[in-house]
Structure 1
Amino acid sequence: MLSLNVFPPTSSSYSVTITKPNHHFSINASHKLKPNLLNSFQSSNLSLKPISQIHHSLTNSPSFNRFLSHPFEFSPKPTTQFLKAVSDEGESSPQEVNPNPKPKNIKKLVLVFGFWYFQNIVFNIYNKKVLNIFPFPWLLASFQLFVGSIWMLVLWSFKLQPCPKISKPFIFALLGPALFHTIGHISACVSFSKVAVSFTHVIKSAEPVFSVIFSSVLGDRYPIQVWLSILPIVLGCSLAAVTEVSFNVQGLWCALISNFGFVLRNIYSKKSLQNFKEVDGLNLYGWITILSLLYLFPVAIFVEGSQWIPGYYKALEAIGKPSTFYIWVLVSGVFYHLYNQSSYQALDEISPLTFSVGNTMKRVVVIVSSVLVFRNPVRPLNGLGSAIAILGTFLYSQATAAKKAKKIEGEKSS
């Protein structure tokens, strides 16, 4: 039982005593330090209550009861909101909130990267297997978004993932990013149906070129190191395209359009979603997936809907067992969502620089694995161009990370 005793002033001090079984605390306040301390208490919203009232207030407080059941649990306020508030108030930086952070678990990082890479490889392989016998990328891309939508609805329904509060401004802010995500996804899927997986990923490694160009048009400024880093990307992609055995104009243009869509999605998200920072990355991706499905499926019906049934029977004849075809389609849909989900989890665990390096290496792993699985012929110049493009992507990630670090140091010094 807690008790609070306030003794009247004797000559020059106040005495406040807090008593608990086996504990006794006493605080003395001098007139010299605060001569009107008692008057301040009485004039403020705070009031001095009898011991019985204090005990009754404490024992009936939800916060006090939560503290009793979870004495080491912090406030349930979202961490992102807390860090944002601390940062905005200028009292301290987010890095100062937790002075003794836990060391990174290397095994956990290895697992996160391992799942991320494995899921991406599985998606690319089975996505291409389906498209080889069922060349209807609009339907397959729609199904992949459908699986991701169902996955997120299950997570939210069973409270495995906290569901964000939905409002009209939030939905309107998502319409633009979801549209560009749809463009990026369907374009990549069409490219996969026309050319080798490795070639599509080489062209998609040119995404930083689009990012720098569009961001510069919108007013961002990049140092010379960033501009120099995109030169090997352009050179490597050009060399890979010229020497690609499975070269197809539509496949090339769709891969470029995919870069266009995903870059604009990222740029538009920063501008339209800056007032919704309390929504975490996985929930944001979930709602973008749902809206993208609503965008894509009606168009898919218009573009190739009349060919789905004849194409389905041809696919069954080519593969022999219907169950095998169903499994391939389902695996492509599930692992499309899983590898995107793992990328968000990886970004939560590591720095943006480490993430960008890991993303670059992931593309290398996917290219090599697809070449081994599908036995695509690779000419020496084609391999050299791919390597140069990937190297340029790595240099770009290093240069942009240095730019961000310099910007943060400038903000701190100012």
Structure 2
Amino acid sequence: MISLNLSASLNPGLTRTRHNPTRFSPLHAAAAADKPFSCQYPLSLPQIPTLQIREKPFLSILKRSRSVAAATGGEFESSEEAAAKENKKAKNLQLGIVFGLWYFQNIVFNIFNKKALNVFPYPWLLASFQLFAGSVWMLVLWSFKLYPCPKISKPFIVALLGPALFHTVGHISACVSFSKVAVSFTHVIKSAEPVFSVIFSSFLGDTYPLAVWLSILPIVMGCSLAAVTEVSFNLGGLSGAMISNVGFVLRNIYSKRSLQSFKEIDGLNLYGCISILSLVYLFPVAVFVEGSQWVQGYHKAIASVGKPWTFYSWVLLSGVFYHLYNQSSYQALDEISPLTFSVGNTMKRVVVIVSTVLVFRNPVRPLNALGSAIAIFGTFLYSQATAKKKKIEAGDDDDKKN
């Protein structure tokens, strides 16, 4: 039996202890009433749990994350910026290598092509061999799976017939020009290609701003001045370069119109298919035009060079590097904007002209050099003007979509 001798039953002190937020017990009640407390058996009443205000877990985590971000945010940003800079450097290095190969391969092609034509003046056969070398190159890449083989379909072949034909015309005309005049003169005339591009595109419905039309004026003036003052001027060489411009311009125009639906085929495979089809176009005509003269011309070439392997190496290098420099140009076009490509192509002509003049020591008159510089500068202005036109058209397309 439990007996309690509790003197004070209710008093203000006891009442106050009931609201104590810490704990409540009979010991607190006795101390509050200043009365003796006796209990035969100790008795503990239910305790009121202590109330403690704690932060919610997600608030503390948020504070810690903010403090960590404040302490290390600069380091994270700097590491990301460093990675971006490294990627940009690697991309610029890769692009520089592609441009260097493009220029180098073009110079090698022009030098050995001209050397072969000097001793073997039969451009139809040489042009056919260059297309043959490119075709064999692509077939080897596809056969050994060094490069993905394109999916050839009947509609693709039909769409390719026109561009391949115009490519054949442009290539053989350039080779004819190289065989009759200096390489530098042919490249100066070929820098007038934008003039033909604007004219033919306008006939087909395209419109150009005034800046584009004004940019072709210095091209025409420069080419005319260079042609009048050219030491090795030849009407056949001039005509060949002009026809080459027409052929390549029509190739570009019809490629855009007929091959737009075949975007799964990249530029390198497209050029490989064009080379094969162009060879089919060109070689039968080459046999008909000059085939009866090849044997006699071959013996004369060997006699003039002295060593057969020297002549073979010139022909082989011209064929291989003709394909390689076109391959590098397509790779460069995949990596850069059309404006940068146009500027690079303009500078390529400058490098080729200077290199061939130094190698073959062609006499250059001051007015001829001035005309060449004006024509090339006009080509640069044309690339700038057409780039602005493309940006405006792209902006209009985006507005229509929105």
Both structures adopt the same fold (TM-score exceeding 0.5) = yes
Instruction: Tell me the equivalent position of 2:166.
Output: 180
> Which residue type is aligned with residue 105 of structure 2?
Q
> Which residue type is aligned with residue 310 of structure 2?
T
Instruction: Tell me the equivalent position of 2:51.
Output: none
The aligned runs of 1:15-414 (5 Å cut-off) are: 103=88, 105-414=91-400
| CA distance, structure 2, for counterparts of residue 266 and residue 135 of structure 1 | 29
| CA distance, structure 1, for counterparts of residue 121 and residue 133 of structure 2 | 19
CA-CA distance at 1:348 after TM superposition: 1.3
3-state SS in 2 of match to 1:148: helix
| CA distance, structure 2, for counterparts of residue 272 and residue 184 of structure 1 | 18
3-state SS in 2 of match to 1:103: helix
Q: 1:163 to 1:198 in 2, by over 3 A?
A: same
CA-CA distance at 1:413 after TM superposition: 2.4
- Per-residue CA shift, 1:302-322, capped at 9, x if unaligned? 000000000000000000000
| CA distance, structure 1, for counterparts of residue 274 and residue 332 of structure 2 | 19
CA-CA distance at 1:412 after TM superposition: 1.5
Aligned length: 316
| CA distance, structure 1, for counterparts of residue 234 and residue 180 of structure 2 | 7
TM-score under structure 1 normalisation?
A: 0.75
| CA distance, structure 1, for counterparts of residue 157 and residue 399 of structure 2 | 38
- Per-residue CA shift, 1:45-67, capped at 9, x if unaligned? xxxxxxxxxxxxxxxxxxxxxxx
User: Which sections of structure 2, spanning at least 5 residues, go unmatched?
Assistant: 1-84
- Per-residue CA shift, 1:102-153, capped at 9, x if unaligned? 5362211111110000000000000000000000000000000000000000
| CA distance, structure 1, for counterparts of residue 306 and residue 278 of structure 2 | 33
Instruction: Tell me the equivalent position of 1:85.
Output: none
| CA distance, structure 2, for counterparts of residue 245 and residue 101 of structure 1 | 50
3-state SS in 1 of match to 2:348: helix
| CA distance, structure 2, for counterparts of residue 291 and residue 211 of structure 1 | 24
Moved more, 101-110 or 374-383: 101-110
CA-CA distance at 1:339 after TM superposition: 0.1
| CA distance, structure 1, for counterparts of residue 260 and residue 314 of structure 2 | 38
CA-CA distance at 1:277 after TM superposition: 1.2
What RMSD over aligned residues (CA atoms) do the two structures have, in Å?
Answer: 1.4
3-state SS in 1 of match to 2:206: coil
User: Which sections of structure 1, spanning at least 5 residues, go unmatched?
Assistant: 1-99
CA-CA distance at 1:161 after TM superposition: 1.1
> Which residue type is aligned with residue 351 of structure 1?
S
| CA distance, structure 1, for counterparts of residue 219 and residue 338 of structure 2 | 20
* CA radius of gyration, larger in: 2
> Which residue type is aligned with residue 132 of structure 1?
N
CA-CA distance at 1:101 after TM superposition: 12
> Which residue type is aligned with residue 370 of structure 2?
L
> Which residue type is aligned with residue 112 of structure 1?
V
| CA distance, structure 1, for counterparts of residue 277 and residue 128 of structure 2 | 11
| CA distance, structure 1, for counterparts of residue 88 and residue 330 of structure 2 | 20
| CA distance, structure 2, for counterparts of residue 183 and residue 167 of structure 1 | 24
| CA distance, structure 1, for counterparts of residue 86 and residue 214 of structure 2 | 37
- Per-residue CA shift, 1:287-331, capped at 9, x if unaligned? 000000000000000000000000000000000000000001000
TM-score under structure 2 normalisation?
A: 0.77
Instruction: Tell me the equivalent position of 2:71.
Output: none
> Which residue type is aligned with residue 268 of structure 1?
Y
| CA distance, structure 2, for counterparts of residue 173 and residue 106 of structure 1 | 35
Moved more, 138-147 or 350-359: 350-359
> Which residue type is aligned with residue 188 of structure 1?
A
| CA distance, structure 1, for counterparts of residue 88 and residue 103 of structure 2 | 24
